[in-house]
Amino acid sequence: MPFLELTLHCREAEQPRYEHAFDDVGALAVTMLDADAGTRNEDAILEPGVGETPLWAAITLSALFPHDADALLLLAALESFDPGLDWSRVSFRNVEDQDWERAWMDQYVPLRFGQRTWIVPWNHELPAEADGATAAVVRLDPGLAFGSGTHPTTALCLRWLDGLAGEGLIDGARVLDFGCGSGILALAALKLGAAHATGIDNDPQALLATADNAERNAVGARLSVHAPDDAPGGTWPIVVANILASALDALADTIAACVAPGGRLALSGILDGQQAALLERYGQWFEGLEVAAEGDWVRIDGIRRR
Consult the annotation and say whether 147 binds a ligand. Answer: no
**Residue 123 counted as an annotated binding residue:** no
Question: β-strand 111-113 against 136-140: which pairing, if any?
Answer: unpaired
Q: Please name the amino acid found at residue 149.
A: G
Alpha helices in 152-274 (DSSP H): 152-166, 184-191, 204-216, 245-250, 252-258
Q: What is the DSSP letter of 40?
A: S
Residue 274 is classified by DSSP as: S
CA–CA separation, 191 vs 178, rounded Å?
18
Q: What is the DSSP letter of 296?
A: T
Do 158 and 112 contact (CB within 8 A), yes or no? no
Distance, first Cα to last Cα, the chain: 64
Contacts (Cβ under 8 Å, ≥6 apart) of 215: none
262 is annotated as contributing to ligand binding: no
- Which secondary structure element, helix H or strand E, spans residue 92, and what is its range? strand 91-95
Q: Which residues contact 241 (CB under 8 A, 6 or more apart)?
A: 178, 179, 248, 251, 255, 265, 266, 267, 268, 269
247 touches 50 (CB < 8 A)? yes
Burial of 235 (0-12, 13-18, 19+ CB in 10 A): middle
Taking the CA atoms of residue 238, residue 242, residue 244 and residue 245 in that order, the dihedral angle to the nearest 10 degrees is: 40
Whether residue 124 contacts residue 109, with contact meaning beta carbons closer than 8 Å, is answered with: yes
Question: Is 117 within any annotated ligand binding site?
Answer: no
Bind-site residues for S-adenosyl-L-methionine: 154, 179, 201, 242
Bind-site residues: 154, 179, 201, 242
